[in-house]
Amino acid sequence: MQWLNIVLQGVLTGGLYAMFAAGLSLIFGVMRLVNIAHGDLIVLAAYVSLMVTQGTGIDPLASLLFVLPIMALIGYALQRGLLNRTLGDDLLPPLLVTFGLSIIIQNGLLELFTADSRRLQAGAIEVQAFELLQGVWIGVLPLLQFAIAVAVIAGLQILFYRTALGRAFRATSDDRSVAQLMGLDTRHVFAMAMALSLAVIAIAGVLLAVRSNFDPSIGPARLIFGFEAVIIGGLGSMWGTLAGGIILGVSQAIGAQIDPGWQLLAGHIVFLAILAVRPQGLFPKVSG
Amino acid sequence: MSRVEHATPSSRIGVVLIAVTLTVLAAAPYWGDRQTLRLLAELYTFVALASLWNLLAGYAGLVSVGQQAFVGLGGYALFALAILLGVHPIIAILIAGPIGAVIAIPVAALIFRLRGAYFAIGTWVVAEVFRLLASQISVLGGGSGISLPATVVTAMAPSRQMREFETYWLALLLTVIVLGAIVVLIRSRLGLALTAIRDNEMAAQSNGVDVWRIKFIVYVLTAFGTAMIGALIFLQKLRISPDTAFSVNDWTAFVIFITVIGGIGRIEGPIIGTIIFFLLRQALADLGSLYLLMMGAVAIVVMLWAPKGVWGLIAERFGWQALPLQRHLVFEKEAGGKQ
């Protein structure tokens, strides 16, 4: 029963990791860009939510009404103003520019909010739980988080395959120059993809902030979790990303049970093992 | 008749200037105070680290953000050898190199499965794994770290001053060896292949260059050098902990900044970059995190608007090279006077 409990907690945490991964996977799919600042943007979203909740007194989950559009706008502007210039055959510029961005966000947050650990208060929902089976308790908040993650991924899936914007994303992903010849403004398409990625980041950031403590330095670790979920799940597959996040979450939960020092290590080792035996991931769709 | 030459007038002047500079630097214990020696020794280690990263990213196209894995590994190798086995620190530094190379072989086999930017994050995961493993080693202080015992330190040299001189010369010597090895490597057959990969990977491959093998060799060699420099850095610091040993800021962010500013893909770049980095640091260090923020911004600006860095601008404007590295075809006049 104890182990079932641990695995279930791992699965629920995995939903959050899948959301870290979804935004990363999305922009890689559309423009082959890997955003090193992804984790720091998640932390930025958490701080934006902190400011909104402190400023207006509303609930952290309700603050998404503001945080989501703010982050999406930042994403659009970032892509149009900066990142579009880095795209091309050379790998180095996007990598180094997003790395620079990561340093700027981290130290900017440090300057504004100090290194103090923060947390968003979501009220009574934080401690509510129900008994699923005898001895197996599920927290309402983790369950809600997981449900949101599934909904976000399903939503992205529908957007990709059922809407005009999704068609533009797929066309640009398949062949940028042909898409441009067909009349698509790829700069705008890329910026929309980044805006969407940051909208997902906004949700992930707020959920992270009500679940655990955060400070300006935790971004890179979130990037790594998201990245591991993407690779485990297989490049380009949204549902694979969810599976990757769950595998990572469960590995960490089991590792933590064996020895608290092994929580993160267990996740990394499972990732490296999958990379060794199945480098294309579990459900691959595009080749890197 | 034609032949290939490396030297140009500027590189002949460059070599003389470098020889003079090295002589002056080697004599630093006679003209500099403790503070200067310390600063210079730190500067040398950054020149070496940045040159190694430049070899990896600038020439082999392997953009790693996880070289701290090997800096930390070297540091921990030094502490393990000196504390647990009683090895003399200088010998331990020399052993740290091969240890880094041996560990790099399975690491490369694994992360070479990742392409491009995903490779970069993969290297970071490896560094994180090393950091977490290091904090599990309780004989080396676990998560809180350990200092080099006084007995080990005094075994190097009885007086503090002599010890500081020794570490200084060691830093200078190791850095010169690393730079020398890179120059020899780039002038070799392997270096020609490497330059071809840098300029166009696909063209290099179609001309018969075994790209995977060459990248693998460069990765392992870089790990060798980085681990050795890592051991040296922690001999200077005399204290190690998982967070300082595997710090992404100190051993990767700064190193990337240095290489990008100085000029990536050129031997001279990291040297110029390190000098600029240290000047900026001396001037702006009081600003704390704002200084790091500015550094990130400068790196972005340089990457977008002057991607070849400071030395790249100079080299293109004046055609200078400080070391004889480029290959020039020279046509000799024959009896008929035709070129």
Whether residue B339 is predicted with pLDDT greater than 60 in this model: the reply is no
The band of A261, judged by pLDDT with boundaries at 50, 70 and 90, is confident
Paired residues of B5 in beta bridges: B328
Mean pLDDT of A83-88: 89
pLDDT tens digit string along A213-251?
999 999 999 999 999 999 898 877 888 899 999 999 999
In chain B, the N- to C-terminal Cα span, in Å, equals: 9
| Residue B337: per-residue pLDDT | 44
Mean pLDDT of A128-133: 80
Asked whether the ipTM of the predicted complex exceeds the cut of 0.95, the reply is no
In a domain, A10, yes or no: yes
Residue of A90, A92, A275 best to disrupt the B interface, most CBs of B under 10 A: A92
In a domain, A46, yes or no: yes
pTM exceeding 0.80: yes
Domain boundaries, chain B: 2-331
Torsion-angle region of residue B103: left (phi > 0), alpha (psi -120 to 50) or beta?
Answer: alpha
Give the percent of chain A with pLDDT over 70.
98
CATH architecture designation of domain B2-331: Orthogonal Bundle (1.10)
| Residue B338: per-residue pLDDT | 43
Q: Are A12 and A142 in contact (CB under 8 A)?
A: yes
Is A288 or A147 the better-scoring residue by pLDDT? A147
Cβ–Cβ of A224/B125 closer than 8 Å? yes
The band of A95, judged by pLDDT with boundaries at 50, 70 and 90, is confident
Q: Are B136 and A261 in contact (CB under 8 A)?
A: yes
Whether residue B321 is predicted with pLDDT greater than 80 in this model: the reply is no
In a domain, A284, yes or no: no
In a domain, A161, yes or no: yes
Cβ–Cβ of A101/B118 closer than 8 Å? no
pLDDT tens digit string along A160-200?
899 999 999 989 888 888 888 888 888 999 999 999 999 99
Q: Which residues of B touch A111 (CB under 8 A)?
A: 289-290, 293
* Residue from the list A91, A97, A104 with its beta carbon closest to the beta carbon of B303: A97
CATH number of the domain enclosing A140: 1.10.3470
* Residue from the list A97, A111, A227 with its beta carbon closest to the beta carbon of B293: A111
Q: Are B96 and B40 in contact (CB under 8 A)?
A: no
- C-alpha B294/C-alpha A82 separation (Å) is 16
Is B158 or B300 the better-scoring residue by pLDDT? B300
Is B59 or A38 the better-scoring residue by pLDDT? A38
* Residue from the list A33, A271, A276 with its beta carbon closest to the beta carbon of B125: A271
Q: How far is A260 from chain B (nearest CA, A)?
A: 11
What value, to the nearest 5°, has the Cα angle with vertex A19 and ends A17 and A25? Answer: 100
Q: What's the total number of domains in chain A? A: 1
- Which residue range forms the structural domain that includes residue A245? 2-277
- C-alpha A141/C-alpha A132 separation (Å) is 14
Mean pLDDT of A15-19: 93
DSSP line for A245-288: HHHHHHHHHHHHHH-GGGHHHHHHHHHHHHHHH-TT-SS--S--
